[in-house]
Structure 1
Amino acid sequence: MKAQPRPNPVTALSKSELERRLREATMLKQIVATSGAPLEPLTVLNVICSELVEVVGVQHAGFARMSEDGQYLTVVAEFGGEHRTGLNDRIPLKGNVITQKVIKTRRPVAVLDAQNDPRMGAGREAARHFGVVSMLIVPILAGDRVVGTLGLDSYEPRRFGRSEVALVEAVSRAASPLLENAHLFDQLKTELAERQRAEEELRKSRTLYQELVNSLEGVVWEAELHKDSLVFTFVSRQIERVLGYGMSEFLGPRERSVWPRVLYPSDFEQVAQRLRTLAITLETAEVEYRALDKDGRLHWFQDRISALREVDGTVRLRGLIVDVTDHKRAVRLERDRNLALELIARGAELEDILEVLVEMLAAQLPEVACAIQVLKSGRVRFAASTNLPETLRRFFEAGATGPLGYRVQEGEASAMPDFEQEQRLDDPARQLLLRSGYRSALTLPVTSKEVVLGALTVISPSPLEPDVRAAHIVADLAAIAVDRQGLIEQLEYQATHDPLTKLPNRMLYQQRLTQAMQRAEEKGRLVGVLYIDLDNFKKVNDTFSHATGDELLRSVARQLAAAVRPGDTVARLGGDEFGVILADLPSVQMAERIARKLGAEVNTSVRIGNRALEVTASIGLALYPRDGTDADALYRYADREMYAVKGKPADKAPPAAEGQ
């Protein structure tokens, strides 16, 4: 008998099943990515809640942990909606039939009407209070043991589909270790407190003590204080991994130990004074200080130091050092990020914001130098830098956007891990960078909506990882700041310029006239105000079309702008009326000469398409302070002069059209 072909397992899946698996894979990928971040377990659970709210389409999601006696649940993470159950709130299981069923059967339960379902028990009142209509409760298992629940709340009636339930179950399985770790994290805090009480017992067995401290994540050290002489007697081997020096280099009298060179110079005396105080008070204290490793990198240490006096009078100091550099930098990074966003929101100057950003990066990576360049209208501008030697500053000022980033123009990051081996770097630039003490670079494009706005370049004396988080955050914030500045400039331009002719509008014209009069008063000069009106412009619109009239206005605007001096202003005041400010005039004669020049430029034939239009204009001139000492008086005088000229018969000729 002929064998039947087996169906392809992929094509046999339904569309809905494929969609469910895709959503589940996307969700789990996000969970895995978040779980690998340097975050506490509860923070990751909060992120998972936010992902569930987005993917499933509910208004609220939350994790609860089962108590050891199984009598209540404690909310440990949640996201979304107007209501918050309250972190660490205890939810009794007694009377809550639905949650008891979930725990007993180890299977999800959906509730269509949580406000009226009698199985909810006291939970009905909570559902009414928070506006929850439908719910999905899923158990979280560790092996065959229920360690908590994952709940989804909807403020509208809904049924949870089979694929959605399967997705939430998959998330609960992925989140189970995190929920367990959150519990272990709390237990660890308690265990650290208990460790202090064990120190006296550990002292009795030196061998066991050394084996234990060498297995710890932190660095344990001991020293003896004889009068004013401090002798370091022990340090655990983790010091080699953290600071790069051998264990033996830390031992012996303080003068011969490497400790004075390792401690940050400004912190050394503070730590020494604290040790002397503890030797007198025999207390336990936590001391924070900075240290430099063998490669010059900065570390933040949190040192828990205790002191006790031996029978012979010797004071023994013992410390447990924890490297809190990552935590310190994360806190500082978040604080600086919020500060930068606040500056951007307040509309601070772009240069000030970019200076804050480079200092923000320097706080995260003190050994590096960095520069931000901004690309505007096709030109590169050096905007901000920190720790950058003057020779390298000139290199960046004269170079292209991201001179060390060979893919920055395409909007891609690029790294140069070793200048000596980098083939894409020309030799003069290589020697300049190496002489300055730098060996690697990372260049990140500053982009917004796939448009390259500039570049952030980071150079380091040691290799840089391409995924340096702080650098990427700084580049993103720089993009927000530059993009916002561009938007502000665009809005300011639109608010102060005529959209048809691109000339300044009446508002900007008035501002510049006020400024010109102030400068003229200080310097004893004159200011000319010209009022220009095109004769018979309405006939152009009526005879040839408004499009022809618009093009005529643009042509006149170009002629006027080309005829004035660099410091003068040509503005469109409305309709067919133009205004000109002649600033810093030495004499009346010069004002009249410029006015005649403008008249000659405007009173000419203008070709619009296949038509030649004979253009005439009436011009009125007023001088500050001769004809008025404020803007309104000057406007009125120039307006009267203009109408006096317009009344002349030669100016009344209608526009002529040729070549029709």
Structure 2
Amino acid sequence: MESIRKFEILEDEALLQLDKFVTIPTIIFNNKEVLYLNESCKKMLGYEENDLNYKEVRDFVNYLEKEYLFIYNHNFLESTTDTVKQEILINKNSKESIWVEFTGKIVIYREKKTFIGHLYDISDKKVSQLNLSRTSKLRDLMLEVTQSILKMEDINQIFQLILNNSLIALENSTLGTIFIREDDCFKVVASVGFVDDIKNFKLHVDGCFLYKATDGKMDRIVNIRDLTKYNGYDCIKANIGEGMFIKSTMSVPIYHEGSFFGMINIDSVEKNAFDEDDVKSMEFIRNNAEIAVSNYLLYKEKAFLAKHDQLTGLYNRYYFEESFLKLKEKAIQYNETFQLVVFDIDGLKKINDSMGHLIGDEVIKKIAQSIKSSIRKSDIIARVGGDEFSGIIFVSNKEYLVEKFQKILNQLENDPLLMVNEEIICTFSYGIASFPQEGIELNELIKIADERMYSYKKIN
């Protein structure tokens, strides 16, 4: 036969004595009513016993029910469960929420099984935990952005990742955009939740919320809680439901090298969606976004300089030679052919000696641009010396290239470099060698192309 659990009997007199010496907030309740609150509990919650009508009792007990589903679903008051402990969020009479550690057990009070519990205010502890969790989450999300810098070719991919992770970090966010400033307008470079045509949307600088809220300074985060009351509000349609529009927003400026670069807008279709904690989160995101943008642009600049000639923007000798080795293996494997071309600027030394190296540099740049603009993106043109260029052109017909280069020379002759008191005709000589018909090694191909280039120079 199953043994019957005996519960502690609690008398009113004992409660009165307890209340004199114990300041811990204490509550006694069942599933219908709150039977007792000591003075400390009344002070904590802002309730009196006679304030607690049935609805308020249910509202209060429902907070406990959420954490202890077995209170009702499993007939807790008929169980023999020992003391339970749980952290819960409850509402005070003022509707302010506080976190408490709730410790309780079953007792017999006024001849009924009831639940007696002690409440310990742990709001400060919980807020610290939540802030720590929020900070940790933010760090992880921004770390993902930092680690993606070296992997992404397009800066707009970085902006999209920043926006996506910002929306993940802010629970009440619904949609958002990142704008980049171009002269007097903003253009959209990343978006979530808006109709597709926002990609073509342009906004004048003085028409944005950030500009208006900061009197044109655009130097701080602004949290606009109700856009419908904001002067100049436009209903920007969201793509998350029929008739849905943003009603509150946080606008966050991004700076690069001390200058205004763009802004992150985090939006919601609800009013008053964001609080001061969200503003602090966006301050953290902004700092990391600015670092990410600066690092990306610096990395891309260094990566560009590592394989490009600074004066002309063409590839440099190192990149050209590395590319040849890769393309050679590929061409052999797939039985492909290409033309190796060498170029030499005519009369550059004379121009440098008579007019100066700055004028000579202009000649180099003009010829480099003329050649580069006439080839495909898959072709490679590099500056390999002061007045020398080399190219790998993916055509099998050498005669086609001869016609193309002659056309470039004709264009250069008809479009001289205009200096202060003189016109300079920019010309070059060239030679072509075919891979693999005339060689498969770079040196032997260059030797053949060089010989043909000098022959061309003597004839012309």
The normalised TM-score by structure 1 is 0.51
3-state secondary structure, aligned to 2:458:
helix
CA distance in 2, matches of 1:531, 1:247: 94
Instruction: Give unmatched runs, 5+ long, in structure 2.
Output: 1-9
* Corresponding position of 1:636: 444
- Aligned residue number for residue 310 of structure 1: 108
> Match for residue 265 of structure 2?
457
- Alpha-carbon separation, structure 1, partners of 2:23 and 2:241: 46
For the pair 1:355 / 2:165, whether they are aligned, the reply is no
- SS of the aligned residue for 2:231 comes to coil
CA, structure 1 residues 258+280, in 2 after alignment: closer, same or farther (shift >3 Å)?
A: closer
* Matching residue within 302, 306, 327 for 1:491: 302
Distance 1:544 1:279 in 2: 102
Aligned to 1:190: none
- Deviation of 1:649 (Å): 6.4
- Give the corresponding residue for 1:534: 345
Match of 1:314, as an amino acid? K
Give the CA deviation at 1:356: 6.0
Residue 330 of structure 1 aligns with which residue?
Answer: 131
- Supply the distance in 1 between the matched residues of 2:354 and 2:13 (Cα, whole angstroms): 105
State the 1:490 CA deviation: 2.0
Q: Say which is worse superposed, 640-649 or 514-523, in terms of deviation.
A: 514-523
Partner of 1:375: 180
Residues 1:274 and 1:292: Cα distance change in structure 2 (over 3 Å): farther
Structure 1 alignment gaps of length 5 or more: 1-198, 225-229, 654-660
Question: How far does residue 646 in structure 1 lie from its aligned partner after superposition?
Answer: 0.7
In structure 2, the partner of 1:575 is 386
Q: Which moved more, 1:553-562 or 1:563-572?
A: 563-572
Give yes or no for the alignment of 1:606 onto 2:416.
yes
2:291 to 480, 486, 506: 480
Deviations 1:619-657 (A, max 9, x none): 12234444455xxx2453144223233135635x7xxxx
Contact persistence 1:622–1:638 (CA under 8 A): yes
Distance between the aligned counterparts of 1:357 and 1:274, measured in 2?
45
> Which residue of structure 1 lines up, in the alignment, with residue 4 of structure 2?
none
Deviates more, 1:492-501 or 1:371-380: 371-380
Q: Which residue of 1 aligns with 2:369?
A: 558
Distance 1:290 1:420, change over 3 A: same
Alignment of 1:518-529 (within 5 A): 526-529=337-340
Alignment of 1:137-536 (within 5 A): 204-205=15-16, 223-224=29-30, 233=34, 249=55, 251-252=57-58, 258-259=62-63, 280-287=80-87, 301=99, 303-310=101-108, 314=113, 316=115, 318=117, 320=119, 322-323=122-123, 326-339=127-140, 342-343=143-144, 346=147, 348=149, 349=152, 351=157, 355=161, 359=165, 362-363=168-169, 365-373=170-178, 375=180, 380-383=187-190, 385=192, 389-391=193-195, 395=198, 398-400=201-203, 403-407=208-212, 410-413=217-220, 414-427=222-235, 435-436=243-244, 438-460=246-268, 461-463=270-272, 464=274, 468-510=279-321, 526-536=337-347
- Deviations, residues 350-387 of structure 1 (Å, cap 9, x unaligned): 64686367535644x412235351527667343365xx
- In 2: Cα distance, 1:450 partner to 1:538 partner: 43
| TM-score, normalising length: structure 2 | 0.70
Q: Percent same amino acid among aligned pairs?
A: 15
The amino acid that maps onto 1:318 is G
Alpha-carbon separation, structure 2, partners of 1:397 and 1:247: 58
For the 8 Å contact 1:603–1:617, the answer to whether it is kept is no
Contact kept in structure 2, 1:444 and 1:456, CA below 8 Å: yes
Aligned length: 419
Give deviations 1:314-368, integer Å, cap 9, x for gaps.
36252536446632332023324543565566564564686367535644x4122
Q: Which amino acid is the alignment partner of residue 283 of structure 1?
A: T
Distance in structure 2 (CA, Å) of the matches to 1:539 and 1:200: 113
SS of 1:436's equivalent in the other structure is coil
Shift in Å, 1:282: 1.2
Give the whole-Å Cα distance in 2 for the aligned partners of 1:271 and 1:594. 87
Distance 1:247 1:382 in 2: 56
Residues 129-148 of structure 1: CA deviation (Å, up to 9, x unaligned): xxxxxxxxxxxxxxxxxxxx
SS of match in other structure, 1:314: strand
Matched-pair contact (CA < 8 Å) for 2:340–2:390: yes
| Within-5 A mapping of 1:618-637 | 618-629=429-440, 633-634=441-442, 636-637=444-445
Check whether the contact 1:382–1:396 (CA below 8 A) recurs between aligned residues: yes
Question: Quick one: higher RCO (CA 8 Å, sep 6+), 1 or 2?
Answer: 2
Counterpart Cα distance in 2 of 1:304 and 1:555? 79
